[in-house]
Structure 1
Amino acid sequence: MWALPIVGLIALATVWVSMEESGSGSGAASMSRQQNRAKDVLGYEPEVQAVPKAEGEVNGISSRVLDWMGVRGQVTEPSAAAHVCRKVDPDFETYYVVNHPWSVFELKKGTFDEAMDNLRRTLPDKGWKITKDGPMDTKAASPEIIAVQPDSHHTLTVQWLNSGKSGRTELISVDVDSRCFRVPEGTELNRS
Structure 2
Amino acid sequence: MLFKRDVLTAIASGEVDLAFRRWRRPAVRPGTELRTEVGVLLIGEVQAVPEAAVTDRDARRAGFADRDRLLADQRPGEDRRLYRIGVRVTGDDPRIRLRQDTDVPTAELDEIVAELGRMDTRSRRGPWTARTLELIDGQPGVRAAELAAQVGRETQPFKADVRKLKERGLTESLETGYRLSPRGRLVLGRLRERGPH
Query: Normalised by the shorter chain, which TM-score bucket?
Result: under 0.3
More helix by share: 2
More strand by share: 1
Could you say which structure has the larger radius of gyration? 1
